[in-house]
Amino acid sequence: MSGSVLAVDIGGTKFAVALVGREGEILRVRRTATPPGGDAHTLWRTLDSLIDALLTEPAEIEGVGVGCGGPMTWPEGEVSPINMPGWRAFPLRARLAERFPGVPVRVHNDAVCLAVAEHWRGAGRGSENMLGMVVSTGVGGGLVLGGRLIDGGSGNAGHVGHVVVEPGGPVCGCGARGCLEAVARGPALAAWALGRGWQPGSAVRDVPDGEAAPYVEAATASGRQLALDAAAGDRLALAAMDRAGRALGLAVAAAVNLCDLDLVTVGGGLSQAGRLLFDPLEATLGEHTRMGFARRARVVPAALGQDAGLVGAAALVLAESRYWSH
């Protein structure tokens, strides 16, 4: 492949587009905020204009890879992201194929693209059997077995967010109770802590002079703030991190026992809590993986940061033999 791939990462807070080289390197990138409450036309126009801004200099586009929130029809690429009501059965793949005729256009779930990125160029590189997870405002993932992405019948294999970790627990957005996503996603975790008296930003922190007041003033009830307060020693924030870690450990144990995994990578905003999240995760995993084959699985932080979605989207084209089955 002599040119580059156009990679598109569509999320509820931002759109990102990039030109990606054959080895997964980001050559050029543009980002913009997702229009709040945008209708179908506004959302498409925003994406189309962002692509225009990226391609102000000539570029040979060899294909288009897209990661987008679900649900979606796969591989047809009609998208209905839960956090973007303006797009319902929106023909995203068809629109992009019309703009870029004659090259492959491939659309997959954004969490799958994050997992693909970590397997191809990140913390999962070299692993034949891994689960890539993202824990943020939602919980999702992608599954690689035998060195190839596993899609399942509808493209949703690896959707670990709906493994039940607390039977009869909180109601999930999917309608079931006790799903991992209902317990461990950032907003749900913050709500759990608030309901028990957590006051965001109230923990005493060891920071340089002049920084404590802005910290408190900017505090909001978010997963990120919860992680900050836990790091500062807040009792309720620490309990919330422990709750999330144990829920993740149960889900990871189920995946490891079922799929005989070598590795699990964990990314997303909540993973930035570090050992506060990973320690209870690993302890719970150890309690529930007693068979020898399961005990060899390692859990590591994801490595690629904010560009992971773009790298994974590009891999749908650049490494199609491993990550695209249609």
The structural domains of the chain, ordered by start, are 4-109 (3.30.420.40), 123-303 (3.30.420.40)
Contacts of 245 (CB under 8 A, 6+ apart): 276, 277, 278, 279, 280, 281, 283, 284
Residues 6+ apart with CB under 8 A from 137: 12, 83, 185, 186, 187, 223, 269
| pLDDT tens track for 216-247 | 344 688 888 999 999 999 999 999 999 999 99
Residue in 111, 106, 260 with CA at minimum distance from that of residue 180: 111
- pLDDT(262) > 70: yes
Residue 207 and residue 213: Cα distance in Å, rounded?
10
* pLDDT on residue 219: 65
304 and 268 Cβ atoms separated by less than 8 Å: no
Distance (Å, whole) CA 26 – CA 252: 31
Total number of residues shown for the chain: 326
Sorting pLDDT into bands at 50, 70 and 90, what band is 326? Answer: confident
The tens digit of pLDDT for each residue in 81-100 reads: 988 999 999 999 999 999 99
Instruction: Quote the pLDDT of residue 241.
Output: 96
Q: What is the pLDDT of residues 134-151, one digit of tens each?
A: 998 889 999 999 999 999
